[in-house]
């Protein structure tokens, strides 16, 4: 494999969570059990003394512990960890083969700098597929409109997006909400046409994000070097689409195919 291929390979520090919740070796089993019980996302915590990672404690470790046992007595110190520069593929292999859900990420000094989870690995695979979609759309825009375009990754405000699709379906919104809440959502694809941000792909995602109170989200942005008249922008104007609020949410039972099937049943 060439050096350029290695440079493009995703690393743990590209996807790890840097703001990590931890516990102290001197915390009690009761205190940590309460934190786990009150949390929707934590089934265990790295154990740190200062910044140094000393072990990991899970709900299973606490099952047989006495209420006043200190965490350093019940934690696992036979620890699997990842390094920030470790390839994501290697970290995924460790997670898969060990059966654990999260790997603490430590630097050369053993200091905790993040955590990488099986969810992060899944998210990385989703996001790696998106550039192919973006590249194809970029080439299409360049060929049709005789312009040049560049691609960039950035956060975009939902309030600044112009939708190009007038409806989304309620059942699919449930899936997109789950993905957003678990950081599994594919980035949007947006066209920056002279400052106008046209949403090319991700209407269910933005509608779900809006319902969750999310104000901005991750996107691949195709930036045109000069404004052009895009067919999708013209369609949006004709349908009165200006903001996310203009996207209708319809129940799956109102899907055109289902409506057709229902009408056919009426004549049976």
Give residue 43's pLDDT.
85
95 shares a domain with 183: no
165 shares a domain with 97: no
On whether the CB atoms of residues 146 and 205 are closer than 8 A, the answer is: no
pLDDT, tens digit, 9 for 90 and up, residues 182-240:
888 889 999 999 999 999 999 999 999 999 999 999 999 999 999 999 988 988 898 89
CA 57, chain centre distance (Å): 26
Copy the structure tokens of residue 196. Answer: 């106008």
Task: Flag whether pLDDT at 159 surpasses 80.
Answer: yes
Residue 135 counted as domain residue: no
Give residue 176's pLDDT.
87
Residue 265 counted as domain residue: no
Domain that holds residue 153: 147-260
Return mean pLDDT, the chain: 87
Task: Flag whether pLDDT at 7 surpasses 50.
Answer: no
Cα distance between residue 247 and residue 235, in whole Å? 13
- Phi, psi for residue 255 in degrees, rounded to 5: -60, 140
Residue 154 counted as domain residue: yes
On whether the CB atoms of residues 247 and 203 are closer than 8 A, the answer is: yes
- Phi, psi for residue 47 in degrees, rounded to 5: -105, 120
On whether the CB atoms of residues 155 and 218 are closer than 8 A, the answer is: yes
* Strand, helix or coil for residue 220: strand
What is the number of structural domains in the chain? 2
Maximum average pLDDT range among 10-14, 66-70, 119-123, 247-251: 66-70
191 shares a domain with 109: no
CATH number for the domain that contains residue 159? 3.90.1530.10
197 shares a domain with 93: no
Give residue 31's pLDDT.
95
Question: Is the whole model's pTM more than 0.75, yes or no?
Answer: no
pLDDT, tens digit, 9 for 90 and up, residues 79-122:
889 999 999 889 988 888 888 888 999 999 999 999 998 888 87
Residue 134 counted as domain residue: no
Give residue 123's pLDDT.
77
Evaluated on CA atoms 173, 133, 122, 152, the torsion sign reads: negative
Residue 239 counted as domain residue: yes
73 shares a domain with 22: yes
Residue 166 counted as domain residue: yes
What is the band of 124 on the pLDDT scale with cuts at 50, 70, 90?
confident
Residue 202 counted as domain residue: yes
Give residue 263's pLDDT.
53
197 shares a domain with 111: no
153 shares a domain with 254: yes
What is the band of 264 on the pLDDT scale with cuts at 50, 70, 90?
low
CATH number for the domain that contains residue 33? 3.10.580.10
On whether the CB atoms of residues 144 and 229 are closer than 8 A, the answer is: no
248 shares a domain with 160: yes
């Amino acid at each position: 494999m060439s050096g350029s291929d290695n440079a493009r390979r995703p690393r743990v520090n590209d996807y790890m969570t840097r703001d990590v919740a931890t516990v102290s070796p001197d915390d009690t089993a009761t205190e940590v059990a309460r934190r786990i019980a009150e949390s929707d996302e934590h089934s265990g915590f790295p154990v740190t003394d200062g910044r140094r990672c000393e072990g990991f404690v899970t709900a299973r470790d606490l099952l047989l512990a006495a209420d006043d046992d200190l965490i350093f007595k019940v934690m696992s110190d036979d620890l699997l960890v990842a390094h920030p520069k470790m390839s994501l593929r290697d970290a995924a292999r460790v997670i898969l083969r060990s059966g654990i859900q999260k790997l603490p990420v430590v630097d050369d000094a053993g200091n905790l700098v993040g955590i990488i989870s099986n969810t992060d690995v899944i998210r990385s695979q989703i996001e790696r597929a998106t550039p192919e979609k973006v590249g194809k759309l970029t080439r299409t825009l360049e060929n049709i409109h005789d312009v040049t375009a560049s691609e960039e990754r950035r956060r975009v405000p939902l309030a600044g997006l112009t939708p190009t699709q007038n409806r989304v379906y309620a059942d699919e919104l449930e899936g997109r909400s789950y993905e957003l809440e678990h950081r599994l959502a594919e980035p949007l694809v947006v066209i920056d046409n002279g400052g106008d941000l046209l949403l090319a792909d991700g209407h269910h995602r933005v509608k779900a994000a809006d319902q969750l109170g999310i104000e901005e989200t991750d996107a691949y942005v195709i930036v045109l070097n000069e404004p052009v008249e895009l067919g999708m922008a013209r369609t949006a104007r004709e349908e009165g689409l200006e903001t996310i609020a203009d996207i209708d949410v319809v129940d799956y039972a109102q899907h055109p195919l289902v409506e057709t099937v229902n009408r056919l049943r009426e004549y049976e």
